[in-house]
Copies of this chain bind each other. A is one copy, B any other.
Amino acid sequence: MEYSLKQLASIVGGSVQGDDSYLIQGLATLQSAGPCHLSFLANAKYTSQLASTSAGAVILNPASVESFVGNALVVDDAYVAFAKLTHIFEKKSSSSGGVHPSAVIAGSAKVSPSALIGPNVVVGENVVIGENTVLGANVVIGDESVLGDSCEIKPNVVLYHGVRLGHRVRIHSGSVIGSDGFGFAPMPDGWFRICQLGGVIIGNNVDIGANTCIDRGALDDTEIADDVIIDNLVQIAHNVKIGRYTAIAGAAGVAGSTVVGERCTLAGGAGIVGHLQIADNVHITASTMVTKSITEAGSYSSGTPMMPTSEWRKNAVRFSQLKDLALVIKKLDK
């Protein structure tokens, strides 16, 4: 796996400054790159690293070209060019489809001949598996679920029954799609379970991390729109709808029936309570708890700043007196 800068430039639509026959074997950060590596500068605040890098070549935006004397691949957006080239250097498993003999596939399932079904996979009745879709080892697909083309389902993922995935959906290991929503009616003698009769619909190009949960709907479906990206350990409750292009970072959670708009971001650990409406282009900062609907685009936060615990205790105790302190201020102000 070796590419000349000229070849790489043609892939990302850039030009070469320096030796365009220079051979590149991989990508690396400015700090760890060696002469066989192509690196990149996407953020001007790291410009000083150009002086000390051992990279054989660097992907640069036009504005940075003058800061570097070595070989450079000059492009409009160095970060996007880097992102594209990661696909060149990713190791692909060579496979031409087929079903591992240990897999258990229901007779009524329709599996594309180009799909690759790993060891110990279990596929239920009437399931449809699209072209070039890959099911890793120990994946379980419930009855009536439908997977589009070119999906990658990593080992130990479970899709319950009636889950529908679009094309090019990637789901990392341990994630569970379509488990029961948390729905129970309170009764004098305990919780009466509400069977979750809805399903889950996931659009095209959706990327889901590891150990994430997306529950099936109570009656209607839980819906993840096209081009949504979701990180690890995320909780999506029943009947949530996530709008297109929205990104949800690790350990965030969205409670039941909440509708999140398009192009939103939820940072790590953020939570949204149930039955809310979140507008498009809303950004929720890390660990923020959203307890009411948001009707305007923008960035939203909650919480308090971190500080040394001894100092924090003294401020925190005053938080408990804030109502009374405010009354005193009011009185004094009069």
Instruction: Tell me the A residues contacting B by CB distance below 8 Å.
Output: 26-29, 32, 77, 79-80, 82-84, 86-87, 89-91, 93, 100, 102, 104, 118-120, 122, 136-138, 140, 143, 154-156, 158, 160-161, 172-176, 179-180, 182-185, 187, 190-197, 205, 207, 209-213, 215, 218-220, 226-227, 229, 231-233, 235, 237, 245, 247, 249-251, 253, 255, 267-269, 271, 273, 283, 285-292, 298-323, 325-326, 328-329, 332-333
Contact = CB atoms under 8 A, between A and B. Distances in A.
Contacts of A250: 182, 213, 235, 237, 253, 255
The 7 closest A-B pairs by CB, nearest first: A86-B195, A83-B185, A90-B195, A299-B309, A158-B173, A179-B210, A176-B210
A315 B323 contact: yes
Contact of A173 (B93, B160, B182): B160
A226 B190 CA distance: 9
Given A138-B156, A315-B323, A333-B328, A288 B308 contact: no
A227 B296 CA distance: 42
A304 B289 CA distance: 8
A236 to B, nearest CB: 9
Contact of A318 (B80, B137, B207, B323): B323
Interface centre among A215, A306, A322 (most CB of B within 10 A): A306
Contacts of A233: 211, 213, 233, 235, 253
